[in-house]
Structure 1
Amino acid sequence: MKSVWSDSCNFTKRETLTNNISTEVLVIGGGMAGLLTAYMLKKVGLKVVVIEAKEVASGVTKNTTAKITSQHDLIYYKLRKEFGEEKAQQYAAANELAIRKFKEIVDDKNIECEFEVKPAYVYSLDKTDNFTDEFETARKLGIDAELVNEVTLPFNVKCALKFNNQAQFNPLKFLKVISDELDIYENTKAVHIDVDNNLVITENNIEISAKNIVVATHYPFLNVPGYYFIRMHQERSYVLALENAMDVKGMYVDIAKDGISFRNYKDLLLLSSIDQRTGKNEEGGCYEQLRGIAKALFPNSKEKYYWSTQDCMTLDGIPYIGHYSASTPNIYVATGFNKWGMTSSMVSAMILSDMILGKENKYEEIFSPSRFDLSLSAKTLAQDTIETAKNFIAQRVDIPDEHIEHIQNGHGGIVTYKDEKVGVYKDEEGNVFMVTTKCSHLGCQLQWNADELTWDCPCHGSRFDYKGNWITGPATGNIKVD
């Protein structure tokens, strides 16, 4: 399983940090948001260090569909209604500027990353509700938008909202160029932040002292302060790259939960769908379902790549960008991009670099993590709280007396073994791999992901391979059985 981006670009390998250091700015996370922030700060002369738990761009960034767009489903009418026109304007202007900023960097550094200006569409197969309100709001906020009912897709739509002058690119080719200029340590995982002393501790007990710390780890690993674990959940979606499909002449997303998204890259069509909460794929079949859709729409197509991705979903649909908490003035966060990671990464870099430099940024208010308002987000918070509570309780209740022998080769599941609840995977040869079912983050019960042979946390989205090795956070440790 490899994305089309991973197969197109190789990064310079970086050393692991082995001694204590100090710097003006430490960026934790070597994905799009972290590297853009580091790039902007280094460009104005600050000493910046980036640490990455694995390798540069090896996390969510390599699995994006890489749409650079201010069109984020039907969001602007909702923003204006809930936050007022001024803040809706901030969101729109920040994301429109992000598109232009990507182009500026590409042109300035002459980056060959297949950057293309394309329209972006949100469409519906059966509804027109809210499209007119969204169109009128978008136009009022300065976005070049239009309502259409004819699109270049292999089926008819009821309605579509088109945003002009959006963009798409190859994110890894872009990052390779800007990362070559940065001071980066790979395989250097941060596991703790001493918030009183602006000190970061790595898993190898190395200390990094920094005047300013940026947490750009996709999902923040520091639980307190900030409490991001009650503000977000994570979702997974699945992607196929098809040969012999069609040129859809733009980027498309369906407003339906399980609708289909499209975009082209060179001679490939990227087809994505099947959004689900992380930890909810015990039976598998997501790729097969997507392949069925591809076969029905493009019977002569051939699958070239397949992969999945993961997104942090906030309570109100807006990223958290700014001070990590009110009590940590020199620690910053960029998270909760709600499936729009490219523009949100650039918005993060623009806002955080200004904040660190002591400059006012006119867009920061709408993205501020301190905006957290339960009155606007009570329904989503309730759903997330129920899901988290359910998976905490699952660790403490009895399950049927099922033994390892009941797990078939090539399958995984939770069983009782020697009076303990364990996760078991048997490979095709019958070799057994056991892990604890408790997530190393906050102890939620992990669930088996049959498509990817991983143990996933439905509470906060941490993931581990079938041997118990950490894949992604907010957890920082493995889940191997003692």
Structure 2
Amino acid sequence: MIRRDSYTTSIWQANVDPYVSTSSPGKNELYDVIVIGGGITGITTGLLLQEAGKKCLLLEAENICFGTTGGTTAHINTLLDTPYSAIQKNFNKSIAKQVADAARDAVNLIKNNIDKYKIDCDFNNAAAYLFAKNDNEAKELQTIYEACEQVELNVSYVDEMPIRVAFAQAIRVEGQAKFNPLKYVYALAAAFEKAGGCIMQHCRVTSLKPDSPLEVETSCGIFHGGSVIYATHIPPGVNLLHLRCTPYRTYAMAVKLEDDTYPEDLTYDMENPYHYYRTQEINGEKYLIAGGKDHKTGQEENTEYRFTMLEATLRENFKVKDIPYKWSSQYFEPTDGLPYIGHLPGHPENIFVATGLGGNGMTYSHVAAITLKSILTNDHHPDIELFNPNRVKPVAGFANFLSHNIDAVKNFVGRLFPGEKLHELAGLAPGEGEVVNYDHEKIALYKDEDGMLHAVSPVCKHLKCEVKWNSAERSWDCPCHGARYDYDGNVLTGPADHSLEVISLDTSAENKS
């Protein structure tokens, strides 16, 4: 099993051993490109660039697939979460067609990689079904259907679906797929290293100096490169894109069914938030993977209840025998529906990013790889302009906003808080966390299974918002920009790149009792 940015365990991470790197960086090596982030976006991008003749180094703060890739439900779509009707409205019909073409190219790249490297990742072609339950949803579905036709998806109305639910109308879209994402990414990582690329796991980037060449300071030393790509789901530090990407949590379960009616295709309803279903076979066992119940990060008081609601929906529609796996994951939704891929706004011209991939990370990761490779090899690909992050213009007062937030720092260094008093004040059960007020200060407290308190500052290290407790993942989540920390304050998810401040507790009174 591998580690993931969570307390819960996904079906993928539970069934794979940690990736073992076979490469190591040379002394005083100058890399053409340094890719930061060891998920599907970073690995795919690194491989394309290495094969294009670039000397690449990939840095991962934890282990390969530690982040969202390890928690995906692994739908490979051209039927996107932001429907083509919405893209037509936000942009125009020509842009919607270009996005559809980019998605098709991404799916083809996945297939080509599987063929080229002979990857056994349980890949299967599938159709996608989108269904409406009432008249209002049916009207929206009609609009989506027409837009799918206009962007040349193979779409049709159908009278039957893979799952047994009541529906008013449904459409079927061909050309979708599913796979085991970790098997796929591991194979690409091995191909990347075989091609001469270098992977450094457990190597956290701590700072980047925009010298020539770029200097990347990490927990493993300093590396130099001509360009840097942030494939970290959201770039660290402070950037305008943090105000243009909204963090969401999504919930998933892999269940066993009593009647063996596992749907082979992909299915989606039109509720808000919507639900999604598919089947995966792992080690000869079939599982129904279902997801949904999304909410903005840090804005749900009882995250465990989201699992309860998802289970209720599953039991309403399927004969559930057992639930071996349940987990949640994070994604970042872009303001206008399209990801931000290219030059990172406000940074030197040789720093790039791929973010805002929404719920279509499997597809947009490969769109990002194709686009970034085009940029760094001076290939004038039309998608470079389409996904350009600099389409986002600075907002009035942004500089003042940054100044205000960066100055709002709480400092607990040198203060000793009474552990016994905080025990009484919080009243926490084992496994619970809460932000409490004591002596005009706020303290984020967690009580572990042994009854010990863990105390950290609730002030997020990104832009100083107050973190909230996530009961399902036992983490401190920032509702502003999606940074997440474990109960000891260590960073789980960016954009924060420093841990929460640890608060010292005086336990002398407890030890005497």
TM normalised by structure 1 equals 0.90
- 1:237-282, Cα deviation, whole Å (9 max, x unpaired): 1111011263223112222223321010021100111101111233
Asked if 1:189 corresponds to 2:204, the answer is yes
User: Partner amino acid for 1:479?
Assistant: L
Q: Compare 78-87 and 61-70 and name the one that shifted more.
A: 78-87
Q: Compare 328-337 and 148-157 and name the one that shifted more.
A: 148-157
What is the match of residue 377 of structure 2? 357
What is the match of residue 158 of structure 2? 148
Asked if 1:308 corresponds to 2:316, the answer is no
Do the aligned partners of 1:193 and 1:222 also contact (CA within 8 Å) in 2? no
User: Partner amino acid for 2:160?
Assistant: E
Aligned partners of 2:288, 2:143: CA distance in 1, in Å?
31
Instruction: Pick the aligned partner of 1:135 from 127, 145, 149.
Output: 145
The verdict on how the C-alpha distance between 1:283 and 1:130 changes in structure 2, with shifts beyond 3 A counting, is closer
User: 1:316-355 counterparts in 2 under 5 A?
Assistant: 316-325=336-345, 328-355=348-375
User: Partner amino acid for 2:340?
Assistant: Y
Do the aligned partners of 1:73 and 1:253 also contact (CA within 8 Å) in 2? no
Aligned partners of 1:453, 1:40: CA distance in 2, in Å?
37
User: 1:69-84 counterparts in 2 under 5 A?
Assistant: 69-73=77-81, 75-84=83-92
Asked if 1:241 corresponds to 2:249, the answer is no
Do the aligned partners of 1:248 and 1:264 also contact (CA within 8 Å) in 2? yes
Deviation at 1:88, TM superposition (A): 1.3
User: 1:408-447 counterparts in 2 under 5 A?
Assistant: 408-410=428-430, 411-447=432-468
Aligned partners of 2:71, 2:9: CA distance in 1, in Å?
8
Do the aligned partners of 2:203 and 2:220 also contact (CA within 8 Å) in 1? no
Alignment RMSD, CA only?
2.8
Deviation at 1:73, TM superposition (A): 3.1
Instruction: Pick the aligned partner of 1:204 from 204, 219, 223.
Output: 219
Greater CA radius of gyration, 1 or 2? 2
User: 1:388-407 counterparts in 2 under 5 A?
Assistant: 403-405=422-424, 406-407=426-427
What SS does structure 1 have at the residue aligned with 2:13? coil
What SS does structure 1 have at the residue aligned with 2:451? coil
User: Partner amino acid for 1:154?
Assistant: R
- 1:338-374, Cα deviation, whole Å (9 max, x unpaired): 1100110000000100110000112222211122269
Instruction: Pick the aligned partner of 1:263 from 278, 282, 286.
Output: 278
Deviation at 1:19, TM superposition (A): 6.4
The sequence identity of aligned pairs, in percent, is 29
Q: Compare 283-292 and 211-220 and name the one that shifted more.
A: 283-292
User: Partner amino acid for 1:263?
Assistant: R
Asked if 1:90 corresponds to 2:98, the answer is yes
Instruction: Pick the aligned partner of 1:232 from 245, 264, 272.
Output: 245
Aligned partners of 1:173, 1:94: CA distance in 2, in Å?
24
Deviation at 1:195, TM superposition (A): 2.9
- 1:366-413, Cα deviation, whole Å (9 max, x unpaired): 2111222699xx9xxxxxxx9xx99x9999xxxxxx954132222211
Do the aligned partners of 1:467 and 1:480 also contact (CA within 8 Å) in 2? no
Q: Compare 198-207 and 358-367 and name the one that shifted more.
A: 198-207
TM normalised by structure 2 equals 0.85
Deviation at 1:296, TM superposition (A): 2.8
Aligned partners of 2:90, 2:500: CA distance in 1, in Å?
41
Do the aligned partners of 1:74 and 1:122 also contact (CA within 8 Å) in 2? no
Q: How many residues align?
A: 466
Asked if 1:38 corresponds to 2:46, the answer is yes
Structure 1: 5+ residue stretches without partners:
379-385, 396-401
Aligned partners of 1:16, 1:112: CA distance in 2, in Å?
26
User: Partner amino acid for 1:290?
Assistant: L
What is the match of residue 398 of structure 1? none
Aligned partners of 1:280, 1:264: CA distance in 2, in Å?
30
What is the match of residue 276 of structure 1? 295
What SS does structure 2 have at the residue aligned with 1:40? helix
User: Partner amino acid for 1:121?
Assistant: Y
Do the aligned partners of 1:17 and 1:188 also contact (CA within 8 Å) in 2? no
Aligned partners of 1:290, 1:36: CA distance in 2, in Å?
32
Q: Compare 270-279 and 254-263 and name the one that shifted more.
A: 254-263
Aligned partners of 1:204, 1:114: CA distance in 2, in Å?
36
Q: Compare 271-280 and 9-18 and name the one that shifted more.
A: 9-18
Aligned partners of 1:351, 1:265: CA distance in 2, in Å?
30
